[in-house]
């Protein structure tokens, strides 16, 4: 099967908008593959933290990105054989991922790795530039968002459920900062493409959002 004919659904959007949750559920419903592109940036960030590399050294970071020894297994992730499923989810890792994601060489180094996930019968992927840059010919492109306050509430609930202490004001501040950094950078900024459907989920349940994405996909395939 020609790679270009394999269907792709891209779900881009700001931090904690629910991209990962929705993309995984849609992928499951369609029996498609799933790619969490943010995890790749987080893995580079974790490698930088673990190896004490200067995070402004673009060539060293591109080298790390090109040579990531990563294994995706169901919902767990291994880096160099170590389970890093939870360690890439820290606020420190997310913030550094957002900072290093501004570097052209890092983004270029991850491009082919992301495109390689386009395998039959199809792919659902989430991130910041999946529809605008990585899969510009995607079958369906969604820009998933929610108000910053709602996203902070969702993140707060998510962390408390995991037994992690959190402060709603700090989370809201982090969301504002991350949104600003990801959407104002020069290369591949987070933005809604012209051919992308906007889905504001502020007052929608997870089930309602999943059903809407499936409806849109069935309407355009």
Ligand X SMILES: Nc1ncnc2c1ncn2[C@@H]1O[C@H](COP(=O)(O)OP(=O)(O)OP(=O)(O)O)[C@@H](O)[C@H]1O
Q: Identify what 201 binds: ligand X, ligand LCLUPRNS, none; CB under 5 to 8 Å per kind.
A: ligand X
How, if at all, do strands 8-12 and 123-127 pair?
Answer: parallel
209 makes contact with ligand X (CB under 6 A): yes
Give the H/E segment covering residue 38.
helix 37-51
211 makes contact with ligand X (CB under 6 A): no
Q: Sign of the C-alpha dihedral, residues 20, 23, 26, 31?
A: negative
Quote the least distance from Cβ 219 to ligand LCLUPRNS, whole Å. 25
Is-contact 60 54, C-beta < 8 A?
yes
The conformation of residue 3, written as its DSSP 8-state character, comes to G
Half-sphere exposure at residue 103, Cβ-oriented, CA atoms within 13 angstroms? 22
Whichever of 107 and 210 has its CB closer to ligand LCLUPRNS, that residue is 107
Tell me, residue by residue from 24 to 63, as one string, x for binding to ligand X by CB under 6 A and - for no binding. --------------x-------------------------
How, if at all, do strands 140-145 and 197-200 pair?
Answer: parallel
Binding positions for ligand LCLUPRNS, rule: CB under 6 A: 15, 37-38, 41-42, 94, 97-98, 101, 127-130, 178, 182
Q: Which residues carry a binding-site annotation for ATP?
A: 13-21
């Amino acid at each position: 099967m020609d790679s270009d004919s394999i269907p792709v659904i891209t779900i881009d959007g700001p931090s904690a908008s629910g991209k990962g949750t929705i993309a995984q559920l849609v992928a499951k419903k369609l029996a498609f593959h799933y790619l969490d592109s943010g995890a790749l940036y987080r893995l580079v960030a974790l490698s930088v933290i673990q190896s004490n590399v200067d995070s402004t050294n673009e060539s060293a970071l591109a080298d790390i990105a090109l040579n990531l020894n990563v294994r995706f297994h169901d919902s767990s992730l291994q880096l160099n054989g170590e389970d890093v499923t939870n360690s890439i989810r820290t606020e420190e890792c997310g913030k550094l991922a957002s900072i290093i994601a501004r570097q052209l060489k890092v983004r270029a180094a991850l491009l082919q790795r992301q495109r390689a996930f386009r395998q039959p019968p199809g792919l659902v992927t989430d991130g910041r530039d999946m529809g605008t840059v990585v899969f510009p010919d995607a079958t369906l492109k969604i820009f998933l968002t929610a108000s910053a306050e709602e996203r902070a509430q969702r993140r707060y609930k998510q962390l408390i459920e995991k037994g992690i202490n959190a402060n709603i004001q700090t989370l809201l501040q982090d969301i504002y900062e991350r949104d600003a950094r990801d959407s104002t950078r020069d290369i591949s900024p987070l933005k809604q493409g012209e051919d992308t459907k906007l889905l504001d989920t502020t007052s929608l349940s997870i089930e309602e959002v999943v059903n809407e994405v499936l409806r849109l996909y069935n309407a355009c395939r």
